[in-house]
Amino acid sequence: AGVVSSVLATTLLFWLVQRREAGRVTPYLLATPVVSMAIGWGLMGDVLTPQILTGSAIAMGGVVLVALAERGLRAGAAKA
């Protein structure tokens, strides 16, 4: 599972970088722990505790914050 997910993630990353700027794609790598948790829960039957869910929410909040900040910087640069 680890090898397959690593190959799939790397392939997806290269595919995205070919179509978008690297700076726009790489913040989504921060979602890796959340995706791993979801795969563990969905396919392996892992138990989701409140601590895991809280950590996932914080991680995704960070991804959203970085993506929005990057979008704001782009909008500001385009106006200048």
pTM for the structure as a whole: 0.58
Q: Give dist(CA 75, CA 27) in Å, integer.
A: 17
Q: In the predicted model, what is the mean pLDDT of the chain?
A: 81
At residue 80, the pLDDT reads 59
Among the listed residues 79, 37, 80, the one whose alpha carbon sits nearest the alpha carbon of residue 58: 37
The 10s digit of each residue's pLDDT in 10-31 is 888 889 889 988 777 877 777 7
Per-residue model confidence as pLDDT tens digits over 34-73: 788 888 888 889 899 999 899 888 988 887 888 788 777 7
C-alpha 61/C-alpha 79 separation (Å) is 27
Percent of the chain at pLDDT exceeding 90: 8
Q: Which residue stretches of 20-79 are H helix?
A: 22-25, 32-44, 50-79
Tokens describing residue 37: 């948790």
